[in-house]
Amino acid sequence: MGFPDDFLWGTATAGHQVEGNNTASDFWALEHTPGSRFAEPSGDACDHYRLYREDIALLKELGFTSYRFSIEWSRVEPEPGFVSRAAIEHYRDVLKACHEAGLTPMVTLHHFTSPKWLPDLGGWEGDETPERFAAYCRVVLAELGQLIPYAVTINEANIAVLTRRMIADRPAPDTTEQAPVGADVADALLGSDLPKVFLFAFGEAGPDIAKRAHVLARQAIREVSPTTKVGVTLALQDYQPEPGAEETARERWAEDFDDFLPSIDGDDFLGVQNYTRARLGEGHAPPEDAERTQMGYEFYPQALENVLRHAATAGLPLIVTENGVATSDDTRRVEFIRQATEGVHRCLADGVDVRGYFYWSALDNYEWMFGYRPKFGLIAVDRATQRRTVKDSAHFLGAIAKRNSLT
């Protein structure tokens, strides 16, 4: 049950969700808009901006070999054209801390949040955005590229395609806890006047802007840091059509995945992010007796294997850049990880080129509109004291990483 020698075993976080006080970002502004539909503002988050050295040391001690985190565009460029040296030096130190601990860093340059000045320039539906994003990537990689072996330009470049569909498909507003995935988010979104932030760029231009931003960013990164491996990540669902719904499944794969293939052609890897399956056809909901996660969707770790096999058709090395479960029952997280990693192993045995597995997330953190309620972390965070408590699941996955083997 071994894995290839250089297989990356990591955990993932995103700046806005863990750093705290990301005050120059568009999401911070959204969270503080009167009538905001966010459950709560992000506030200090996990204070990871201050505590990153301790967190990285803990991940190392647990046995991980890699750490995926994001650099905040709004910290690096808080005003258009102004580059904060302080922010660059901060991230240089985060990268150094990874290298000193022997963790291979994977850096995401855009994980949903953007500078709060971007929406005024059209945000993620604006024509200028790809060039501006690429310019920011160029600055970061020119400064820090030697410390960055893996760069993800955009996290879930296809996410607006999925959220737009989720809103269109949302169930009647009187649904309860059993509501299908994201129903409450969809309702909340419909009630607000959306700025053009990345997550909610539902206009026709959205997907093309994201694709063009990726292509220009990749080009900029390669010019200034040719040794950095570059890719994008995609949110991919395991579509399981009932008889008669096969065509719907094909259409969804075409929209979520095939449409992005021309722009990722030439990338060094593809980041695969998966959390559950989506049944299509009659009822298109999880079975009545299905176990639900704190996100409302089905507990279904088998989805990852199915999605990896499909994603392999891109012809790029694959890295599982996110996979995880929100639950307050850590024994279920252990079970989720056990089944998901077995699926990865079966893929490898069949020759699917998977280079790493990153669990989402290292820490219990800010789950966007849901606030701090969903618990995705391997490590619990007491937000009053910022004390970290390692869960059993962290030891479980850390041990797999140390052995580089499942048994």
Q: Interface residues with ligand GCO (CB under 6 A)? A: 14, 17, 155-156, 235, 273, 322, 360, 367, 376
Give the nearest distance from C-beta 208 to ligand GCO in angstroms.
Answer: 21
Closer residue to ligand GCO (CB): 225 or 323: 323
Write down the least CB distance from residue 233 to ligand GCO, Å: 7
For ligand GCO, the closer of residues 88 and 189 by Cβ is 189
Supply the minimum distance, in Å, between the C-beta of residue 321 and ligand GCO.
Answer: 8
204, 238, 332, 406 from 339: Cα distances, Å: 38, 15, 11, 10
- By the 8 A CB rule, do 119 and 25 touch? no
Helix (H, G, I), strand (E, B) or coil at 238: strand
Q: Taking Cα atoms as reference points, which of 347, 353, 289, 299 lies closest to residue 323?
A: 299
Tokens describing residue 371 = 């606030």
Q: How far is the CB of 279 from ligand GCO (least distance, A)?
A: 19
Q: How far apart are CA 63 and CA 57, in angstroms?
A: 10
CA distances in angstroms from 374 to 47, 84, 136, 302, 371, listed in the order given: 18, 33, 32, 21, 8
- Taking the least distance from each CB to ligand GCO, the nearer of 145 and 377 is 377
Indicate the residue among 105 and 145 with the shorter CB distance to ligand GCO: 105
Between CA 223 and CA 151 the distance in angstroms is: 14
What minimum distance in Å lies between the beta carbon of 17 and ligand GCO?
6
Other beta carbons less than 10 A from residue 88's beta carbon: 18
CB nearer ligand GCO, residue 88 or residue 234: 234
Q: Which is nearer to ligand GCO, 62 or 154 (CB)?
A: 154
Residue pair 291/339 in contact (Cβ under 8 Å)? The answer is no
Please give the Cα distance from 344 to 137 (Å, whole number): 31
Torsion of CA 260, 266, 268, 271, to 10 degrees: 0
Neighbours of 235 (CB within 10 A): 21
Nearest in space to 211 (alpha carbons), one of 275, 266, 249? 266
Contact 124, 201 (CB under 8 A): yes
Rounded distance, CA 120 to CA 122, Å? 5
Q: Write the burial class of residue 5 (CB in 10 Å: 0-12 exposed, 13-18 middle, 19+ buried).
A: exposed
Which amino acid is located at 76 in the chain? V
For ligand GCO, give the closer residue by CB, 322 or 335: 322
Q: Least CB distance from residue 235 to ligand GCO, whole Å?
A: 6
Nearest distance in Å: CB 245, ligand GCO: 24
First-to-last CA distance in the chain?
Answer: 6
Task: Output the smallest distance, CB 72 to ligand GCO, in A.
Answer: 13
Tell me which of 156, 298, 322, 367 is the catalytic residue. Answer: 156
Closest to ligand GCO by CB, 83 vs 380, is 380
Q: Is 156 a catalytic residue?
A: yes
Residues labelled as active-site residues:
156
